[in-house]
Structure 1
């Protein structure tokens, strides 16, 4: 789900909370040693996201927020903030050969540059995904 998250609209906040859960509380964030990524440089993105990023001439950057049932990738374009919401059961992360991570949900993706301080955060996300994924998932 890709939404404009610039304004504090209750219906959009409710959709995001339904998809990936409410924000972690203070104790949970402390236990996780933080639930947000450092600033990430976007190298490439799917067509839908790339059209939003191409609207301005700024450097394309994003950050990732962990939630109990998924992650949110936030980026800015034309003074608007967009949220790419990904539940854990649809999250796929691939490490590229050129020091990058590609984060997929269905047909949409964001490819970010992998710096040394990003690796522990991605491991934390993958660990949380493993905890949230059932051992014997049922097929629908």
Structure 2
């Protein structure tokens, strides 16, 4: 009886990670294809910054949708990483225990403030703010 239980547990631990990765990629690719399809076409050309929902309460443009698509992709990636490679929290320079997910949250929150400060002090475009955010993200994941 114990041997059958061990075999069942071993079979349950064998996960087809390739299928999981392929499924996640297929879902994200399908979502991106839908976003491109939903982008308005004016005179035969896509208007990438035109509202996707005319008269909507929020400016749902393609760049805004891609922003949320990236965050969804990060959440999917970090969920898969947490399941496949569990980690123990570590203590960084903030002297608090953080996991990958905590560091992602700190990165996203800090990046939002960096971009808001850039818009206040410098104004658009925010490409240099994005570069600063990437350096900030690398620092958070390395030392926090």
TM-score range, shorter chain: under 0.3
The alignment's TM-score, normalised by the length of structure 1, stands at 0.22
Q: 1 or 2, which has the higher helix percentage?
A: 2
Structure number with bigger Rg: 2
Which of structures 1 and 2 has the larger relative contact order (alpha carbons within 8 angstroms, sep 6+)? 1
The alignment's TM-score, normalised by the length of structure 2, stands at 0.22
